[in-house]
Amino acid sequence: MPEHAATLPDGPLMSTYASPTVEFVHGRGSELYDVEGRRYLDFLGGLAVTSLGHAHPQVADALGRQARKLLHVSNLFANEHNGPLAATLDRLLGGGGKVFFANSGAEANEAALKLARKWGGHGKYQVISAYGSFHGRTLATLHATGQPAKHEAFQPLPEGFRHVAWDDLDALEAAIDPSVAAVFLEPVQGEGGVNPATVEFFQGVRRLCDERDLLLIIDEVQTGLGRTGEWFGFEHYGVRPDVVTLAKALGNGVPIGSCWARAEVAEAFVPGDHGSTFGGQPLAAAAARAVLAVMEEIDAPACARRAGAVLTEDLLALPAVTDVRGFGLLLGAELDGLDARLVAADCLAAGLVINGVTPTALRFAPSLLVTDDEIHEAVSILSTVLDAHAAARTERP
């Protein structure tokens, strides 16, 4: 066994993830390298995080500069980055809002859920979310997550969550009563299998929220910042939310999340209502400012649209792929009865990082800067793996 194989994490880590089989030590753009120096193409992007690829020079420079200057002061004091970062996010979101910074997607969503309760006031606190959704792993975001199997071991969960079928406006309307404060949805269910909804559904939800005085909270943790071919996933449906949460791509790998709300909604929070030691701290905020500057420079949504069209076309040409769904560079490829998780494992062994997002679908979330050559190479690796799986299936008695 090579000497460095011992560096695969074998310390006392809790078993919250299956044991990894690969340890990556460096990356550049869409490429990753493991401890043995083997090259991989990264078409998962650290779960839709590294939208600018690995080791982006402008992000690395911003981090290096800030690390040498000031790492942390706490939110009891101003820092030079979080105000301008909030202003850029607010501008991208259409203006007129305010931002709270957190450290992850779940924390950004917790902020949104607490804001909805504070805004709703006494007796108006329920949140309606969708079956198949994913909103995080804290107790409240776990309950918002519409996957009852994930709830079981952690009962009782904080009360105040109702789930309705995805893309079903009648079901959602039936769940509304005076105790409901907000509707909480992803524009495309990412972890649930890359499932978009219809324009009619989202427009209907917006109308219901207006009529019944509810907040529309959109979880853009996976879809936000260009990934779907628009700055935000909700733009595909022509609706304007009241609250928007972001994380993943915001720091391109540096942990940071944000919760934006229309100013009248944001005003529900007063000092002491919410907080975070690290949220919006100088290092993470400097990284996020650099990320947004690069994203605006390259027109991130246009990159995702262009490369997404190439990837979709290549995937649809594979005989084992029956359907490609999603927007931009958040795509799910449905397989013709093959086991997506085994296919993804064999792709990893062959130098391509993707994941099985459902038992029958693969997820693709590469860097928005991925090249056509990298797309063709990745799909060629996948094609070889799919052919082998299809042949093995044919041979089985």
Could you say whether residue 86 binds ligand PLP (CB under 6 A)? no
Could you say whether residue 104 binds ligand PLP (CB under 6 A)? yes
For residue 87, CA distances in Å to 93, 221, 229 come to 10, 19, 22
- The residue among 29 and 257 lying less far from ligand PLP, judged by its C-beta, is 257
Residues numbered 243 to 262 that lie near ligand PLP (CB under 6 A) are 247
Pairing of strands 31-34, 361-364: unpaired
Mapping DSSP to helix (H, G, I), strand (E, B) and coil, where does residue 235 land? helix
Residue 286 CB, nearest approach to ligand PLP (Å): 19
Q: Taking a C-beta distance cutoff of 8 angstroms, is the pair 48, 219 a contact?
A: no
H/E stretch holding 263 reads helix 263-266
For residue 259, CA distances in Å to 107, 125, 158, 190, 279 come to 9, 18, 21, 19, 11
Question: Rounded distance, CA 363 to CA 280, Å?
Answer: 30
Residues numbered 218 to 247 that lie near ligand PLP (CB under 6 A) are 219, 221-222, 247
DSSP state of 153: G
CA end-to-end span of the chain: 36
- The residue among 79 and 355 lying less far from ligand PLP, judged by its C-beta, is 355
Residue nearest to ligand PLP (CB): 105
DSSP state of 256: -
Catalytic residue among 42, 167, 219, 314: 219
Residues numbered 107 to 126 that lie near ligand PLP (CB under 6 A) are 109
Could you say whether residue 106 binds ligand PLP (CB under 6 A)? yes
Q: Does 154 qualify as catalytic in the annotation? A: no
Binding string, residues 30-59; x marks residues near ligand PLP by CB under 6 A: -----------------x------------
Q: Which stretch binds ligand PLP (CB under 6 A): 129-137, 225-233, 329-337, 376-384?
A: 129-137
Helix residue ranges per DSSP H, 30-151: 45-48, 57-69, 82-92, 105-120, 139-144, 148-151
Catalytic residue among 43, 134, 327, 364: 134
Q: Does 134 qualify as catalytic in the annotation? A: yes
The two three-digit tokens of residue 197, written as one number: 């909804």
Count of residues that interact with ligand PLP, criterion CB under 6 A: 15
Could you say whether residue 105 binds ligand PLP (CB under 6 A)? yes
Residues serving a catalytic function are 134, 219, 248
Residues that bind ligand PLP (CB under 6 A): 47, 104-106, 109, 134-136, 186, 190-191, 219, 221-222, 247
